[in-house]
Structure 1
């Protein structure tokens, strides 16, 4: 319907009359054997990232834990375990704040971009 409307509008703007063909019919569906399937990417706990700049990496799963250092947006982390609203993480690369790869600590879960589990 949209194609016909567009064709009529175009013909009216140009000022010509043209024979309008009916829109082509869709090709028949391919047999089931010919259809390729796309599988979803597996969800891994080690493809998470830090969501906010200045996120504190702590020694304990609470605000009373000492601050080991700060993490920044898109610092790559691996989630090792969770407790309440906190995640125990390990840095997958040197952080933008200068913490070494492999450094571990606790981060509030609200500051983490969860693992991507889509296509």
Structure 2
């Protein structure tokens, strides 16, 4: 007995649906849908973003971060994210520096999907 691959079966289902004018609904394989959101994939959204010692606009500024500086989100408090720099920032802060950034200045991690 000949075995039909998943790709062939999906192609056959879509072709058949197109020929008879119907709509085919094909479920994605389970392993493709099980992507894990990783807080490591975040980055800074705006130039001159202040990295603060605490989650407050009145807190001391440790330095500035710039667009695409890579960060890891390690915590949250209100509208603030606690971050660790994954590399030396364009503003000169060393890799591993920690602090707080207003959430609006962060490009959140991409977790897959549409």
Q: Same fold (TM over 0.5)?
A: yes
Query: Please, which runs of 5 or more residues in structure 2 have no aligned partner?
Result: 1-10, 15-26
User: 5 Å matches for 1:1-119?
Assistant: 28-29=12-13, 37=29, 39-40=32-33, 41-118=35-112
TM-score (normalizing by structure 2): 0.71
Aligned partners of 2:12 and 2:87: how far apart in 1?
50
Offset, 1:116: 0.4
> Which stretches of structure 1, 4 residues or more, deviate above 2 A after TM superposition?
27-30, 35-38
The two structures have a TM-score, normalised by structure 1, of 0.68
Over alpha carbons, which structure has the higher Rg?
A: 1
Number of matched pairs: 89
Unpaired stretches in structure 1, ≥5 consecutive residues: 1-26
